Chains A and B, each alone.
Chain A
Amino acid sequence: MKDLKIIDILQSPVAISPSAGLKVFEVINSFINKEESIRLFFDGIEDCTTAFCNATIGKLFMRYSQEKLKQLLIFPDLDQFPIWKDKIERSIQLGTDENMRESHQQNLTDLLAS
């Protein structure tokens, strides 16, 4: 099992841009492709956004099955960062579930109608 720290990949504690997300995605993807399991650590990260999470985690869950990623990718220290945990969980839902993405659009429609 490979331990990866986001801060080491980015060489920065700032994980907010989609381009930073894609950088982390590419690293994780290279391991998942080879069926290698990963422990991804947020330790040291000071800033994290939805755009980053979508580009990293959301994109992985669009590409691979949830079952596969549950086996190969774990987040050992995410419980320490509740705000980012919510963002990651939403990215997983959006990446996994086409219905969720459609529901997201429905929320927009509902809001416009309100």
Chain B
Amino acid sequence: MPEVQYKFSQTTIDTNNRGIDELLQFYHFAKAQPPYTKITLNLSNLTKFDANLSAVLLAINHRIKRQKKYLFVEIPGHINVLFRNGFVGHMQGKGDDPAIFDNRDSTIPLKTFMKSEDESFCSYLKKDFFGQRGLDDVPAQHKTALRSHFEEIFTNVGLHAETEELVYTCGQFFPVEKVLKFSLLDLGVGFLKKIQPVSNGKVTCDREAIDWATFGGNSTKDKKLHGPGGSGLKDIRDYCSQNSGSLHIVSGTCYWTIVNGKLFSYVLSRPFEGVMVNLIFRNI
């Protein structure tokens, strides 16, 4: 069995365009390997890995496995959050085993859902996510509003990203900085492939597809079926602005983010095959 090693070129994997680019470069490295290769991802050079992004690593693992390759992740002691949030359990094939999850602090578990499992997702948010003791001091009305935003993201990904594949989700609360990070992604067709044919030629690239999806530009057919468009993004945008937060969406080669009401987009070096949404809330 051929074996290859990989290390990230940066020492931190943060929830931003650079961190996501690093993860995608790794995925495309793994994708280029022949079947039955043992791929070892060594995290020893990292000083920090945003635990919410373990959802991305798990999705990469599932995709690599389907390509008949084997991913092993070497995790140094200082990134032990990946043990505590269930990532290692998932990699060992134990799935969403609650026994693995250690809820001593602000760690929020890594979970997978079918997009039809809206009740399970809501239950996860209530019990596992906002039930964490680390979030005990967050006022109830804040929790309700945050939960509502995460549910908006879950339903939007279900609406726009045509997939029967799993939805991966994970969060991380940083109590000292009072920052909450949340990631949700799928490995569907991405926005562009689904939206391009129904946009009457208006949508031609990944950036425009994200704009279309997030601002509720549903087709006439969708409006007749689902009622008027309106993705709930405005609420999320307003809430992010009030809490120094930000909304980040990745699809194809576009990294799209709204910070303080301003939109920025970056072109990633390699495409993401699906849709990823990251939310960062500060002053929680």
Contact = CB atoms under 8 A, between A and B. Distances in A.
Interface of A: 12, 14, 16-18, 20-22, 25, 46-52, 54-59, 62, 83, 86-87, 90-91, 94-95, 101, 104-105, 107-108, 111-112, 114
A94 B262 CA distance: 24
B24 to A, nearest CB: 25
A83 B144 contact: yes
A91 to B, nearest CB: 7
Contacts of B227: 18, 21, 25, 54-59, 62, 91, 94-95
A24 to B, nearest CB: 11
B85 to A, nearest CB: 23
9 contacts: A16-B155, A25-B227, A47-B122, A47-B148, A50-B231, A58-B230, A94-B228, A94-B229, A112-B263
Contact of A16 (B118, B217, B226, B262): B118
Contacts of B215: 104-105, 107-108, 111
Judged by DSSP, the binding face of A is helix
Given A104-B215, A111-B263, A114-B263, A14 B228 contact: no
A66 to B, nearest CB: 14
Interface of B: 116, 118-119, 122, 126, 144-145, 147-148, 151-152, 154-156, 158-159, 211, 215-217, 223, 225-232, 234-235, 262-263
Contacts of A17: 116, 118, 155, 158
Contacts, number: 103
Nearest to B144: A83
Nearest to A98: B228
Contacts of B234: 107
A50 B122 contact: no
Contacts of B158: 17
Given A62-B227, A94-B229, 8 more contacts: A12-B119, A49-B151, A50-B235, A51-B232, A56-B227, A59-B227, A87-B235, A95-B228
